Amino acid sequence: MHVRGTVAGEVDVRSVATSYGESELAEVPLRPADDARNGESPARGDGGTATVADGRETTTVTLWNKWTESAELLEPGMELLVTNAKEEEYQGETQYATTGDSYVVVEPSFLVSVTSIRNWVECPRLYYLNKLSGVPLNYPVVKGTLVHEVFGDLLRGRDLEESIEARVEERGLQLGLLGETPAAVKEEIRENATAIEGWLEQGRLTEEDSWRSEQLLISETFGIRGRADAVRRGAPVELKTGKNLKKEPRFKDKVQAACYALLLEEHGGDVDIGTLLYTKNSALDRNEETGDLTPAKEFTMGDGLLKYVVRLRNEIAAMETAGDIPTGYEADAKCEYCFEQDTCMVVSGRLDQESKAGQIGQSLPDEELEYFDRFYRAIEDERREVHREYAKLWEQTAEERADDDRALIDLEFLEKRPLEGGRWELRAHNTGGANSKLREGDLVLASDGDPVRGSSELARIERLDDEIVITADEPVEVTRLDVYPSELTTDRLLVAMHDALLKGDDRRKEILFGRAKPAFDTIEETFIDNNDRQNEAVTKAVGATDCALIHGPPGTGKTYTIARAIRAMVERGERVLLSAFTNRAVDNALEALLEQLEDVIDEDRVVRVGSESGIRDDMEPYRLERAGDPEDRVATLQNAQVVAATTSTCGSRVMKEQAFDVALVDEAAQLTEPGTCAAINLAERFVLVGDHEQLPPVVRAENDLTESLFERLVDLHPEAGVMLDRQYRMNQRIQAFASNEFYDGQLRPATPDVAARTLDDLEGVSRDRLPESLQDPVSFVDVEGDRSQYTDSAEAARIAALIEAYEAAGLERSEIGVIAPFRAQVSEISTHVPDDVAVDTVDRFQGSSQEVIVVSFTATGSLEGPIFEDYRRINVALTRPKRALVLVGDAAALASDPVYERMLEWARR
DNA sequence: ACTCTGCCCAGAGGA
């Protein structure tokens, strides 16, 4: 049976004399998991149940011999899983102990990647450095990736030359940045491919082989995930681009293969043979011991190796759970042979970390060390949240998961169609309501119903409506799609923070930490002649030698100001990076910029970097295509004077090779500090534009990431900031509340026309035709709600009637927007109102505006709940309309909070 | 208690 639970106290490790001699044992007090679903977990295929019988009381699990090493890692509160345990009666109590078939897994829901384990076995410090500073663009890595892709193609039956041609073409941009020519790269790949082909031929001659390539595997039991290069007859095959003339495979390569063996074991395999394919070994190289010419090395993976791998994995999981930083002493690697030695010493020196390699250089100032510590923790908190999302893949039932919007279930599989290159196009019919987080272009786990234990594939969504089209390596009879969680964003945040602190120049850090005041050059030019603050903002942005901060409340022409500033920079010959957190914000800013840049620079000197699915269709012509001739691709990017990309893309390998004079970050109040750093790290100076009175960054965990760099710098360097104070959007009556409540009364209409705008200005609309209660630009409709928690059908019905009234007064449906706090209420309202009325959450309405806005508060009785606590959300909701705003809600509930009460008074006037 | 966007996933190799 399997035992799973939470460590309930201190672990006792000691030696005892047994009939086999001296043995080590560890006694772990364990509170068995009370989650009933645990019992269904099939884990390993021996039919055991996964949980200890009915109890909440603490029991004891004895871990024998080598497992005591994992026991030493345990802290109270950690999760523990022991497979194939035996039950023992001791002093009338039921206890458990490991058997010869047991595995001990620390924090099993923390999914460790195979690469992590491979790095860790070499040196835990190497694992840490990889995570912290990332791997820069370099040729050996790109070539390795290419060889793997070609290998995969060969296994799927693609023609060799065709594959090489296509794969090299796809990597044009990266190869160009590395200064490689296609002909030379192809030639090198051919050499590796010859070894692969020769080996494949051997296999075909001798027996029927069954092959799988690039299989993504997740183990719920061992807490490991990874992608096997290939699986032959159920056994892992690892491809290596390098040379190895020794008889034995490298140890870390064996460990990697053993990881896949564990993963395959959980998926029903039972193998003890691993194959490593060193494709640089050629016929000219003779194995020094065996004289063997083939590149393939087969080896046996014994029980001991597999268990050792799980113990390694436990070390990582325990360290990540505790939030520790490895020193290198955990391993017996020799630092003098390590090619990361210098980096390791510098990092430990700068961050004042204990390290086996020793320290070089001077430690960062205390405040920077403290900053590093705080943000390292915060980012790792986020990472743990991503890990919890992985765990939900098996902890949630399909229905729970679909409710969570992270999956589409009960699809009806329609057909499979082979594509060129051996991939497949799969089609399924979406039977349910398609209200999920999944979007076109996303990578998902496509499965036959169970993404972890069943057959599943990493697939890309090509089309998503009633009929779903995906592409994948294997023809899964897909009936379910799951979000595949990714640590990519977290990884990039960490690297961005590392770069800002360890690679950033000193002057930049003086500014970020408030040790110096931002400086400005004097600029005489007038950029905008009818709006002083906008002009001041452009002047500051252009003249800043360090940074400028532009605070732009709703409707104040933030986007125009940015575009004007960038134009001025471009005219001065500067290279500019335009960034924001979301693709939508980047595209909006770029759209305004293109208008400004007409006649200033050629269109082809403006480049949008990002994925095809992320970029808005009308910006597609500016998108940097990665595939193509290397020289040509790299010229397009280097020649660009303006590059636009999300902050996440700014952290990509390609973007990190780029340098700019200025980085301009829009919607900067929605960005975490490390997120902002990803963009500004690439430039000499920066301009942040945003409004910290609107919504803050979206983060998974409650931590230091919730305050933006923008907001912090506005406080730290008020003299670098300027607030745009004239708004071009709202009727005066509408803007009054937000102005007083959020902007100290400083926000005012830009012109008398704006102040006086009403629905009457719109063609064919007459306010007289509205009920009297709606004739004022701001009105309140008191609805006693239906008392349900996240929806309110009474409000929804009333809103439908309001929309009819506006239509009757001559408004187009497309001129009306409805905003609600909860997604559930958004879908409730959507069922009541016509399709062409925009209905969305407050959060998603940020950044846009409408002639008429109806707000559904969805609260009866009281205003309790986190969504109402952040007043910035009301600021966003109330500042979306131009000409009319209708608040719909329960007056009694709204009056229970002072801010909402003031809002009520204003609306009812 | 709720809100929710990014990202080619994980791994590619050097000595």
What is the arithmetic mean of pLDDT over A188-204? Answer: 79
The distance (Å) linking the CA of A131 with the C1' of B4 is 25
Handedness of CA A320, A322, A323, A326 (dihedral sign): negative
pLDDT at residue A465, rounded to an integer = 85
Within residues 455-484 of protein chain A, the ones with CB less than 7 A from nucleic strand B are 458, 484
pLDDT at residue A209, rounded to an integer = 63
* A169 Cβ contacts chain B strand, under 7 Å: no
For residue A863, pLDDT over 60 is answered with yes
Tell me, letter by letter, the H, E, C secondary structure of A479-548.
Answer: CEEEECCCCHHHHHHHHHHHHHHHHCCHHHHHHHCCCCCCCECCCCCCCCCCCHHHHHHHHHHHHECCEE
Nucleotide nearest to A862 (CA to C1'): B1
Of the candidate CATH numbers 2.40.160, 3.40.50, 2.40.128, 3.90.320, the domain formed by A114-311 belongs to 3.90.320
The number of residues in chain A equals 909
* A280 Cβ contacts chain B strand, under 7 Å: yes
pLDDT at residue A41, rounded to an integer = 41
Residues of chain A with CATH 2.40.30.270: 364-503
The distance (Å) linking the CA of A406 with the C1' of B5 is 14
Residue nearest to nucleotide B3 (CA to C1'): A843
* A130 Cβ contacts chain B strand, under 7 Å: yes
Task: Please provide the DSSP assignment of A53-93 as one string.
Answer: SS--S-EEEEEETTHHHHHTT--TT-EEEETT-EEEEETTE
Within residues 808-847 of protein chain A, the ones with CB less than 7 A from nucleic strand B are 821-824, 840-841, 843-844
pLDDT at residue A35, rounded to an integer = 52
* A47 Cβ contacts chain B strand, under 7 Å: no
Tokens 């009929």, located at residue = A467
Structure tokens at A680: 């500004």
Residue A442 to residue A451: CA distance in whole angstroms: 16
The distance (Å) linking the CA of A487 with the C1' of B9 is 10
Phi/psi class of residue A174: alpha, beta or left (left: φ > 0; alpha: ψ in -120 to 50)? alpha
Higher pLDDT, A243 or A558: A558
The distance (Å) linking the CA of A138 with the C1' of B13 is 9
* A872 Cβ contacts chain B strand, under 7 Å: no
* A706 Cβ contacts chain B strand, under 7 Å: no
* A262 Cβ contacts chain B strand, under 7 Å: no
* A287 Cβ contacts chain B strand, under 7 Å: no
pLDDT at residue A423, rounded to an integer = 87
Using DSSP, state whether A794 is helix, strand or coil: helix
Task: Please provide the DSSP assignment of A158-225 as one string.
Answer: --HHHHHHHHHHHTHHHHHHTT--HHHHHHHHHHHHHHHHHHHHHHHHHS---EEEEEEEEETTTTEE
CATH number listed for the domain at residues A364-503? 2.40.30.270
Share of chain A above pLDDT 90, in %: 69
| Cα–chain center distance at A338 | 31
Which residues, 6 or more positions from A647, have their beta carbon under 8 angstroms from its beta carbon?
A: A579, A580, A581, A665, A671, A675, A676, A678, A679
Residue nearest to nucleotide B11 (CA to C1'): A115
Residues of chain A with CATH 3.40.50.300: 509-724, 732-908
For residue A440, pLDDT over 60 is answered with yes
Higher pLDDT, A68 or A432: A68
pLDDT bucket at A714, cuts 50 / 70 / 90: very high
pLDDT bucket at A885, cuts 50 / 70 / 90: very high
The distance (Å) linking the CA of A55 with the C1' of B2 is 34
Which residues, 6 or more positions from A5, have their beta carbon under 8 angstroms from its beta carbon?
A: A30, A31, A32, A33, A52, A59, A79, A80
Handedness of CA A577, A578, A582, A586 (dihedral sign): negative
* A227 Cβ contacts chain B strand, under 7 Å: yes
What are the tens digits of pLDDT across the range A726-741?
Answer: 999 999 999 999 999 9
* A140 Cβ contacts chain B strand, under 7 Å: yes
The distance (Å) linking the CA of A140 with the C1' of B12 is 8
Within residues 433-452 of protein chain A, the ones with CB less than 7 A from nucleic strand B are 437, 442-443
For residue A249, pLDDT over 60 is answered with yes
CATH number listed for the domain at residues A509-724? 3.40.50.300
The distance (Å) linking the CA of A338 with the C1' of B14 is 10
Residue nearest to nucleotide B8 (CA to C1'): A443
Structure tokens at A632: 């040509």
* A590 Cβ contacts chain B strand, under 7 Å: no
What are the tens digits of pLDDT across the range A103-122?
Answer: 999 999 899 999 999 999 99
pLDDT bucket at A43, cuts 50 / 70 / 90: very low
* A240 Cβ contacts chain B strand, under 7 Å: yes
Residues of chain A with CATH 2.40.50.140: 3-35+55-106
What is the arithmetic mean of pLDDT over A531-539? Answer: 97
For residue A371, pLDDT over 90 is answered with yes
Q: Which CATH architecture has domain A3-35+55-106?
A: Beta Barrel (2.40)
Residue A684 to residue A678: CA distance in whole angstroms: 13
For residue A527, pLDDT over 50 is answered with yes
Q: End-to-end alpha-carbon separation of chain A, Å?
A: 69
pLDDT at residue A54, rounded to an integer = 46
Q: CB count, 10 Å around CB of A182?
A: 19
The distance (Å) linking the CA of A844 with the C1' of B5 is 10
| Cα–chain center distance at A831 | 32
pLDDT bucket at A339, cuts 50 / 70 / 90: confident
pTM of the model: 0.93
Within residues 630-669 of protein chain A, the ones with CB less than 7 A from nucleic strand B are 645-646, 648-649, 652
What is the arithmetic mean of pLDDT over A617-628? Answer: 95
What is the arithmetic mean of pLDDT over A130-147? Answer: 92
* A41 Cβ contacts chain B strand, under 7 Å: no
pLDDT bucket at A290, cuts 50 / 70 / 90: low
pLDDT at residue A45, rounded to an integer = 37
Provide the mean pLDDT of chain A.
90
pLDDT at residue A116, rounded to an integer = 94
Residue nearest to nucleotide B1 (CA to C1'): A865
Nucleotide nearest to A119 (CA to C1'): B11
* A611 Cβ contacts chain B strand, under 7 Å: yes
Most confident of A142-146, A286-290, A299-303, A431-435: A142-146
Q: Which nucleotides of B are covered by protein (CB under 7 A)?
A: 1-15
pLDDT at residue A107, rounded to an integer = 93
Within residues 520-579 of protein chain A, the ones with CB less than 7 A from nucleic strand B are none
pLDDT bucket at A282, cuts 50 / 70 / 90: low
For residue A394, pLDDT over 90 is answered with no
The distance (Å) linking the CA of A608 with the C1' of B7 is 16
pLDDT at residue A267, rounded to an integer = 81
Alpha-carbon distance values, A795 to A163, A209, A423, A429, A853 (Å): 59, 64, 49, 34, 15
**A553 near A727, Cβ under 8 Å?**
yes
Structure tokens at A471: 């592409």
| A64 φ, ψ (degrees, to nearest 5) | -100, 150
**A778 near A732, Cβ under 8 Å?**
no
pLDDT bucket at A36, cuts 50 / 70 / 90: very low
What are the tens digits of pLDDT across the range A66-100?
Answer: 999 999 999 999 999 999 999 988 888 889 999 99
The distance (Å) linking the CA of A904 with the C1' of B3 is 23
Alpha-carbon distance values, A531 to A297, A593, A688 (Å): 73, 19, 20
Within residues 198-217 of protein chain A, the ones with CB less than 7 A from nucleic strand B are 216
pLDDT bucket at A781, cuts 50 / 70 / 90: very high
What is the arithmetic mean of pLDDT over A254-264? Answer: 93
Domain boundaries A732-908, CATH class: alpha beta
**A874 near A899, Cβ under 8 Å?**
yes
The distance (Å) linking the CA of A160 with the C1' of B4 is 43
pLDDT at residue A336, rounded to an integer = 86
pLDDT at residue A57, rounded to an integer = 79
* A488 Cβ contacts chain B strand, under 7 Å: yes
pLDDT at residue A246, rounded to an integer = 72
Residues of chain A with CATH 3.90.320: 114-311
Nucleotide nearest to A337 (CA to C1'): B15
Q: For A208-217, A261-270, A499-508, which range has the lowest pLDDT when averaged over its residues?
A: A208-217
* A867 Cβ contacts chain B strand, under 7 Å: yes
* A241 Cβ contacts chain B strand, under 7 Å: yes
Residue nearest to nucleotide B4 (CA to C1'): A698
The distance (Å) linking the CA of A823 with the C1' of B1 is 14
